[in-house]
Structure 1
Amino acid sequence: MRVAAVTGSSGLVGTAIAAALDANGWSIRGVDRLPGEWTSIVGDLRDPRVRRAAVHGSDVVIHTAALHAPHVGRVDDLEFHAVNVGATEALLDEAGRAGVRRVVYISSTSVYGHALVPTDRAVWVDEGLEPLPRDIYDETKLAAERLVASIAIPSVTLRIARCFPEPPPVLATHFLHRAVGLDDVAAAAVRVAEHRTVTGTFNIAGPYPFTRDDCPALLHDAAGVIEARLPGVATAFRERNWALPRTLDRVYDSGAATAAFGYRPLHGIHQVLQTSGNGLV
């Protein structure tokens, strides 16, 4: 049986990825500092014994464990470096010694940082946009991406859009341009874990209704664009007494992932509205 080591397996993203891998016939070796359904090794990746137990005998390592944006200001910068960069480097070294065939690193679209600030139009965010980290989280995730890209093991980095629970009106707006479903993140991770040749860095975001040509109007009159392009969505917002966004500052583009390994997100604005009540769109 194929064995996947999943770090951060008790977290939101790690749990979803482990469950999807299991459903696709993988044996899961979950690693986390906290217990969880998919966690068989409870421990800190800074401990060499934990790293060895995780990777030896594993075919693939999927590395989701990290300190995240909510920890900024609450956790010392040195701790951020130790967990997000130091532990990642040590894990990659151990994976090389263990003969792991493939590494998948779960990063974040947050690494684009200051590059996400619009000027005269919404920012079209594809992999050609140069990251400009704005805080210690962005800096350490980007540093870890570079470590992953430098190893001899074939590797893929997935920069995932926001995928945590939010109030329905906020979630619906974010699913127009900058959110992604957990099931789509998990499906992308399974695809690249099982792919024989793909390597590189890819955005993983939701299916959005806009194009690059919409970016000027989205910054200055997003509500008008939505009314014209998605009248059913505009009606659904009004029925729920949700305000249409007046401006959208960015749109994430997952086209490179679609072209490279067939990523096709299924969870979009229509699915969000269907589950929020007051009828279907």
Structure 2
Amino acid sequence: MDEENRSLVAVTGTSGLVGAAIAAALHDAGRVVRGADRVPGRWTTVVGDLRDPAVRRELLRGAGVVVHSAALHAPHVGRVPDEEFRAVNVDVTGALLREAPAARFVYISSTSVYGHALVPVDRAVWVDETVEPRPRDIYDETKLAAEELVAGRGVTLRIARCFPEPLPVLAAHLLHRAVALSDVAAAAVLAVSRGAGTFNIAGPYPFTRDDCVAVHRDAPALLARRAPELVAAFRDRGLPLPRALDRVYDSSAAGEALGYRPLHGIRQLLGSP
């Protein structure tokens, strides 16, 4: 494989929010990017449906790494037949794996696969990779099925929510269950060349595993003791603090295996020290 192909990364879903961010970060890191999507975009060089073998061939030609982010997502549940979910999310993943057998594979999954396991009982759920996924809908089921296909071929990144939201919602979510899009892209850049296995991509958050009871009972009280500057930042901007948190995502395993260090959390959003 020549030098260009060693650096060539095939990225799916490059006209979407996550895929475009990953493609841009890879480009900035010196990688040659070939992107595919059903609609045109800044990073999309192959326009077409990945269910089409010719589209896959054009995308994969000479690629040393595949980053697969294209998928039907949670908002499509109930609007798209389950069979189409399986065809797009599972069958396409299997085809990419078969047709690029020598390529390193980075699969962009979702923390949504934990499903019913995210429901708290008497404390917030500390969500690391030892939590067994309990899918709740066809989206979760198909993302988890695709993860199983990818196992042993590279890295699966279970990314937390990273789409645009109103400031009050985003601020609350960045305390425990959301991640900046730029941190997702940075994690993907790391994963194209290191690590193996399945990792949560989230954070940074101001909590530890020992806080699960306290954040579920009275999150503002804990924050007032732990990070009063954050409480002040919420107050100064007229943003409500959530009373109880149901989960906290843990991405420390990605830190150890990939060198992942999230940089853009709630403090950066609110300009808090």
TM-score by length of structure 1 reads: 0.94
Distance 1:210 1:194 in 2: 30
User: What code does the residue aligned with 1:216 have?
Assistant: V
The secondary structure found in structure 1 opposite 2:157 is strand
> Which position in structure 2 is the counterpart of 1:127?
129
Aligned Cα root-mean-square deviation (Å): 0.9
Distance 1:228 1:173 in 2: 18
Corresponding residue pairs, total: 268
Whether 1:225 aligns to 2:227 is no
TM-score by length of structure 2 reads: 0.96
> Which position in structure 1 is the counterpart of 2:200?
203
> Which position in structure 2 is the counterpart of 1:88?
93
2:234 to 210, 234, 237: 237
Alignment of 1:103-122 (within 5 A): 103-122=105-124
Distance 1:259 1:4 in 2: 24
Distance 1:245 1:193 in 2: 36
Q: Deviations over 1:36-55 (max 9, x none)?
A: 00000000110000111111
Whether 1:212 aligns to 2:212 is no
Moved more, 252-261 or 233-242: 233-242
> Which position in structure 2 is the counterpart of 1:277?
none
> Which position in structure 2 is the counterpart of 1:143?
145
> Which position in structure 2 is the counterpart of 1:57?
62
* Residue 194 of structure 1, CA deviation: 1.9
* Residue 158 of structure 1, CA deviation: 0.2
Gaps of 5+ in 2: none
Alignment of 1:226-265 (within 5 A): 226-265=223-262
The secondary structure found in structure 2 opposite 1:134 is coil
Identity of aligned residues (%): 68
Distance 1:89 1:44 in 2: 15
Q: 4+ residue runs of structure 1 moved beyond 4 angstroms? A: none
The secondary structure found in structure 2 opposite 1:233 is helix
User: What code does the residue aligned with 1:232 have?
Assistant: E
The secondary structure found in structure 2 opposite 1:106 is strand
Gaps of 5+ in 1: 275-279
* Residue 228 of structure 1, CA deviation: 1.2
Whether 1:269 aligns to 2:266 is yes
* Residue 268 of structure 1, CA deviation: 0.8
* Residue 261 of structure 1, CA deviation: 1.6
* Residue 237 of structure 1, CA deviation: 1.2
The secondary structure found in structure 2 opposite 1:39 is coil
User: What code does the residue aligned with 1:119 have?
Assistant: V
Distance 1:248 1:147 in 2: 33
* Residue 56 of structure 1, CA deviation: 1.7
> Which position in structure 1 is the counterpart of 2:180?
181
The secondary structure found in structure 1 opposite 2:146 is helix
> Which position in structure 1 is the counterpart of 2:160?
161
Distance 2:256 2:91 in 1: 33
Distance 2:254 2:86 in 1: 28
